[in-house]
A and B are shown apart, each in its own frame.
Chain A
Amino acid sequence: MTVETPKYRELGLTDSEYELIVEKLGREPNDVELAMFSLLWSEHCAYKHSRKLLRRLPTEGERVVMGPGENAGAVDVGNGYAVAFKVESHNHPSAVEPFQGAATGVGGIMRDVFAIGARPIALLDSLRFGELDSVRSRHLLDGAVRGIGHYGNSIGVATVGGEIYFEEPYEHNCLVNAMCIGFAKTADMVRAAAAGVGNSIVLMGASTGRDGIGGASVLASAELGEGDEAKRPTVQIGDPFEESKLLECCLELLEKGLLVSLQDLGAAGLTSSAGEMASAGGVGIDIDVARVPLREADMEPFEIMVSESQERMLAVVEPGRVEDVRAICEKWQTGSAEIGSVTDGGQIRILRDGEVVGEMPVEALVDGCPLYDLDPAEPEGWIYGNRETLAPGAAPEQELLALLSAPSIASKRWAFEQYDSIVGSRTVRRPEQADAAVLQLPEADNAIAVSIDGNGRRVACDPYEGTIEAVLECAQNLACVGAEPLGLTNCLNFGNPEKPTGAWQLDRAVSGLADACDALGVPVVGGNVSLYNEGPDGPIYPTPVVAMVGELPDAAQVAGNAFVTEGDAIGLVGPFEPSLAGSELAKQRGELKMGLPRPDVAGVVAACEIVRTAVRAGRLSSVRDVSDGGLAVAIAESAIAGGIGCETNVEHLRERGAQPEEALFGEGPGGFLISGDRATLEELGAVLIGTVGGEEISIGAGDRSLSVSLAAAESAWRSLPAQAERDAA
Chain B
Amino acid sequence: MIWGVLQFPGSCDERDALHACQLHGDGARLLWHESRDLDGVDGVVVPGGFSYGDYLRAGAIARFSPAMEAVAEAAAGGMPVLGICNGFQVLCEAGLLPGALLRNVELRFRCHQVELVEEGSGETLSIPAKHGEGRYYAPEEMLDELERNGQVAYRYADGHNSNGSVRGIAGVANERGNVLGLMPHPEHAVDPLTGSTDGLRVFDRLSQGALVNQESTKAPRT
Contact = CB atoms under 8 A, between A and B. Distances in A.
A425 B111 contact: no
A389 B188 CA distance: 44
Contacts of A425: 15-16, 19, 187-188, 191, 194
B10 interface: yes
B67 to A, nearest CB: 14
A154 B53 contact: yes
Contacts of B64: none
B52 A428 contact: no
Contacts of B187: 425
A240 B9 CA distance: 11
B140 to A, nearest CB: 30
B12 A155 contact: yes
Contact of A241 (B52, B108, B191, B195): B52
A1 interface: no
Interface string A129-159: 0000000000000000010011001111000
A245 interface: yes
A421 B50 CA distance: 16
Interface in B116-155: 128, 130, 132
A440 B111 contact: no
B13 interface: yes
Contacts of B128: 422
B202 to A, nearest CB: 16
B109 A556 contact: no
Given A241-B50, A244-B9, A418-B110, A153 B130 contact: yes
Interface string B93-116: 000000000000000111110000
Interface in B167-222: 185, 187-188, 191, 193-195
Contacts of A556: 193
Given A241-B55, A245-B10, A428 B112 contact: no
Contact of B193 (A154, A156, A440): A440
Given A156-B12, A241-B9, A555 B193 contact: yes
A241 B55 CA distance: 9
A421 B12 contact: no
B83 interface: no
Contact of B130 (A150, A422, A440): A422
B134 to A, nearest CB: 13
A439 to B, nearest CB: 10
A240 B195 CA distance: 28
Contacts of B130: 153, 420, 422-423
A10 interface: no
B11 interface: yes
A154 B54 CA distance: 9
A242 to B, nearest CB: 8
Contact of A419 (B12, B19, B111): B111
Contact of B111 (A155, A333, A420): A420
A420 B111 CA distance: 6
A31 interface: no
Interface in A388-441: 416-428, 430, 440
Interface in B4-38: 9-13, 15-16, 19
B59 interface: no
Contacts of B80: none
Contacts of A239: 53
Nearest to A242: B53
Given A156-B13, A245-B10, A332-B9, A417 B50 contact: no
B49 interface: yes
Contact of B9 (A333, A423, A427): A333
Contact of A417 (B9, B52, B111): B111
Nearest to B132: A153
Interface in B42-94: 48-50, 52-55
Contacts of A155: 12
Tell me the interface secondary structure of chain B in the complex.
mixed
A244 B194 CA distance: 24
Contacts of B10: 154, 241, 244-245
A242 B112 CA distance: 27
B111 A422 contact: yes
Nearest to A153: B109
Interface string A151-186: 001111000000000000000000000000000000
A435 to B, nearest CB: 18
Contacts of A419: 109, 111
Given A153-B109, A245-B10, A440-B193, A423 B16 contact: yes
A255 B188 CA distance: 27
A332 B49 CA distance: 16
Given A240-B50, A241-B50, A427-B194, A421 B9 contact: no
Contact of A424 (B9, B15, B50, B53): B15
B16 A241 contact: no
Contacts of B191: 425
A417 B55 contact: no
Contacts of A421: 111
Contacts of B55: 241
Contacts of B188: 422-423, 425
Contacts of A420: 12, 109, 111, 130
B111 A418 contact: yes
A154 B50 contact: yes
Contacts of A150: 109
B193 A418 contact: no
A718 to B, nearest CB: 14
Contacts of B49: 156
B19, B110, B188, B194: most-surrounded residue (chain A CB, <10 A) = B194
A424 B54 CA distance: 20
A305 B158 CA distance: 57
B195 to A, nearest CB: 8
Nearest to B112: A417
A245 B193 CA distance: 30
Nearest to B50: A154
A154 B10 CA distance: 8
A432 B130 CA distance: 17
Nearest to B188: A422
A149 B53 CA distance: 15
A102 B175 CA distance: 44
A216 B132 CA distance: 38
A616 to B, nearest CB: 16
Nearest to A440: B193
Contacts of B110: 417-418
B13 A423 contact: yes
Interface in A305-340: 332-333
Contact of B12 (A417, A423, A426, A430): A423
Given A417-B112, A422-B130, A156 B11 contact: yes
A640 B19 CA distance: 35
Given A420-B12, A423-B16, 13 more contacts: A149-B109, A154-B50, A154-B54, A156-B49, A242-B53, A244-B9, A417-B110, A417-B112, A422-B111, A422-B188, A423-B130, A425-B16, A428-B194
Interface of B: 9-13, 15-16, 19, 48-50, 52-55, 108-112, 128, 130, 132, 185, 187-188, 191, 193-195
Which 10 pairs from chain A and chain B are nearest by CB? A156-B12, A241-B53, A425-B16, A154-B50, A420-B130, A245-B9, A420-B111, A241-B10, A417-B110, A428-B193
27 contacts: A153-B12, A153-B50, A153-B132, A154-B12, A156-B50, A241-B50, A241-B52, A241-B54, A242-B53, A244-B9, A245-B9, A333-B9, A416-B111, A417-B110, A417-B111, A418-B108, A420-B109, A420-B111, A422-B130, A422-B194, A423-B12, A423-B130, A424-B16, A426-B194, A430-B195, A440-B193, A555-B193
